[in-house]
Amino acid sequence: MSDAGRHPNITLLTLSEIKEITGHVGNFHVRILKRARYVKEDQCTACGDCTAVCPVVIPDEFNMGLSSRRAIYSPFPQAVPSAYVVDIEHCLGHNPVICGKCIEKCEKRCIDFEMSDTELEFEVGTIIVATGMETYDPTVLDEYGYTRYENVLTSMEFERLINAGGPTQGEVIRLTDRKHPKSVAFIQCVGSRSQKRGQPYCSNICCMNTIKSTIMLKEHYPDIEVKVFYIDIRTSGKGFEDLFRRSKGMGVRFIRGLPGSIKEDSKKHDLILTVENTATNALEIHRTEMVVLAVGVQPPEDMFQIQEMLALQKTSDGFYLEAHPKLQPVDSATRGIFFAGCAEGPKDIKESVTQASAAAARALRILNPGRLKVEAVTAEVNPDKCTSCGICAKVCPFNAISVETRAKKPAQVTTAACAGCGTCAAECPFEAIEMHHFTDAQIEAQIDALLEEEPDQRILVFACNWCSYAGADFAGVSRLQYPSNARLIRTMCSGRVHEKFVWRAFRRGVPAVLVSGCHIGDCHYIDANHWTERRIKRMWKKMEKLGVRPERLQLEWISAAEGSRFQEVMERMERIRQSVTPQEIAETSRIFEKQRSKKDPEESLCELGDTYEKNASAMTS
């Protein structure tokens, strides 16, 4: 941290909050609010004279409330910058009539209560998101008595106790009587791997953190009795299994089973644990003088704000979703934005440092050339057709389209930000947007070619490039048997499938159409498949209104690894195809041909306006 603070090309902004991020890769504009420190950074020497005279005493957040600090303080040892900071919410010094002792004591006159928050703006090329994580609050798990018994601690509180720089200088003591405990019990997976309370995922760091703590305890106090209650011990890292064996070799007992309740001896303040040992199938009672809850980790509460600013995706666990778990593990779906540390998922220090190095390298890969290369698959607006309705800007997952609806200026596409999903082209009610290399004419030509011969024997499939098309390919290389009459049209995203493509296929006499894409939440274009789902639902309603069976148009989510699912879906599509009679095919073709050949311009305009109204209504909801 000190090296980063001294580096000439690194600017550290402490006490700062990002208020707004606009722009695109290579040209991000960041607006930052830097809160007042009330101490001049360049003059303060951290002598501590001000702290000695400050009368305000507050629990120290760094030591998890196990010690206290003053209203003017250093956040933690070796903090960067080394200057002190004033907690203005608790300080009395902003009204010198009440206090002002720190000002009088400071010989260098570093304290200035006239300081105010400042707003900074930066132009940057790339962004690395490293929002970190928070520990789980075990208050809701009342059976462990965290809020009722002083000798029940979290792993973070225990970490500060056993640390040489902690409130007790590394001496492990009970909070009730300030004596060294003769026995300590660790309870694993508190707030992790639970479907009802806490988080359903494994927090990754808890097992090794507990093993490290047990070894430190045994090294400090060889006669202490240490027990670990666990579901599974996961030691998958390099050298982790050796540490696990070392801990057991030092006499630490690992008991398979989690306590159902903790009670306290009111006289001695010892803790009584009731646990079912799943290794022996016996109900056991253990008495210990201190309990440590190995709490899990979870995403910070304010991650949503960054997600909205940068148009990022989240997993079901609440962490940010990477562009690809294997090929792009530090990239986001938005180009020029990368992840480091626990922003993408729970990690230990080694994994966080590794990912941070990878994120820096990926950022340099964009910045070093000085010029930005973009993919050829991008959207282009025809200004002659554009009516400035603004739908394209609202549906774009990457905020790559800008339009001034009041000034009636045609929409403009920022090519560097456009990822080429095609959702805007499919949602535009006036067909004013064309996708390079996936134009309407190209896709329609594919439909005509695939259905030129025996269309009644075909199944037309629109498959997204990243998931369902890859899933079909995986089914093939896995030698999974599925109906051979399926004809696939590849699109970059299921969001590219325009309503007119499906109607054209039905006019050509196809019995069944499948639109397939990534699973909801896994879309490579953030949330483009949400618009696919809404569009298909509108089409189902229209088919029902026209007297066409809606089940002839299917929507399925298939990932790249789900070759067997693609096989199952295609077998079901074949059963649907076989259920469609030649008379039904002819009637459907006639219905959609009649819809296409309407001559009344007012009726066509009304139908266009109805599409626009439905789109706007869907976006509002």
- Would the pLDDT of 602 be above 90? no
| C-alpha to C-alpha distance for 378 and 416, rounded to whole angstroms | 9
Query: Which CATH number characterizes residue 407's domain?
Result: 3.30.70.20
Residue 102 and residue 204 in one domain:
no
| C-alpha to C-alpha distance for 183 and 287, rounded to whole angstroms | 8
So what's the pLDDT on residue 612? 45
Match 């499906």 to its residue by tokens. 502
Domain boundary among 62, 90, 125: 125
Confidence of residue 221 (pLDDT cuts 50, 70, 90): very high
Which tens digit of pLDDT belongs to each residue from 64-104?
999 999 999 999 988 999 899 999 999 987 666 688 899 98
Query: Which CATH number characterizes residue 461's domain?
Result: 3.40.50
So what's the pLDDT on residue 400? 92
Residue 432 and residue 462 in one domain:
no
Residue 99 and residue 198 in one domain:
no
What would the two tokens of residue 581 be?
């009679």
Residue 162 and residue 100 in one domain:
no
Which tens digit of pLDDT belongs to each residue from 261-291?
999 999 999 999 999 999 999 999 999 999 9
What would the two tokens of residue 72 be?
């003017």
- Would the pLDDT of 620 be above 50? no
pTM of the model: 0.79
Confidence of residue 618 (pLDDT cuts 50, 70, 90): very low
Q: Please name every residue paired with 263 in a beta bridge, in sequence order, or none if there are none.
A: 272
In a domain, 575, yes or no: yes
- Residue pair 191/181 in contact (Cβ under 8 Å)? The answer is no
Residue 177 and residue 292 in one domain:
yes
Residue 612, CA atoms < 13 Å, CB-side half-sphere:
14
In a domain, 290, yes or no: yes
Residue 153 and residue 202 in one domain:
yes
What is the average per-residue pLDDT within 184-199?
A: 93
Domain boundary among 251, 280, 298: 298
Residue 85 and residue 35 in one domain:
yes
Q: What is the DSSP string of 530-543?
A: HHHHHHHHHHHHHH
Residue 513 and residue 570 in one domain:
yes
So what's the pLDDT on residue 616? 44
Closest CA to 129 of 340, 316, 280: 340
Domain boundary among 298, 333, 359: 298
- Residue pair 50/69 in contact (Cβ under 8 Å)? The answer is no
In a domain, 592, yes or no: yes
Q: How far is CA 288 from CA 151, 153, 211, 273, 314, in A?
A: 10, 13, 18, 8, 41
What is the average per-residue pLDDT within 283-312?
A: 92
Could you tell me whether strands 127-129 and 337-339 are parallel, antiparallel, or unpaired per DSSP bridges?
A: parallel
Which tens digit of pLDDT belongs to each residue from 519-564?
987 888 888 999 999 999 999 999 999 999 999 999 999 998 899 9
In a domain, 428, yes or no: yes
Residue 94 and residue 196 in one domain:
no
- Residue pair 329/361 in contact (Cβ under 8 Å)? The answer is no
Which tens digit of pLDDT belongs to each residue from 354-374?
999 999 999 999 998 888 888
Residue 488 and residue 555 in one domain:
yes
Structural domain span for residue 535: 450-620
| C-alpha to C-alpha distance for 515 and 536, rounded to whole angstroms | 9
In a domain, 424, yes or no: yes
Those residues whose C-beta lies under 8 Å from the C-beta of residue 426, and which sit 6 or more positions away, are 495, 496, 497, 498, 499, 531, 535
| C-alpha to C-alpha distance for 82 and 35, rounded to whole angstroms | 17
Provide the 10 A C-beta neighbour count for residue 567. Answer: 20
So what's the pLDDT on residue 605? 35
Residue 458 and residue 597 in one domain:
yes
In a domain, 505, yes or no: yes
Angle of helix 206-220 relative to helix 240-249, nearest 10 degrees, comes to 40
Which tens digit of pLDDT belongs to each residue from 385-443?
999 999 999 999 988 999 999 999 999 999 988 999 999 999 999 999 999 999 999 99
Count structural domains, the chain: 5
Residue 235 and residue 285 in one domain:
yes
Which sign does the torsion angle of CA 72, 74, 76, 79 carry?
Answer: positive
Q: 3-state DSSP call for residue 19?
A: strand
In a domain, 445, yes or no: no
- Would the pLDDT of 508 be above 60? yes
What is the average per-residue pLDDT within 307-325?
A: 86
User: Based on the number of CB atoms within 10 Å of its own CB, is 303 exposed (0-12), middle (13-18) or buried (19 or more)?
Assistant: buried
In a domain, 234, yes or no: yes
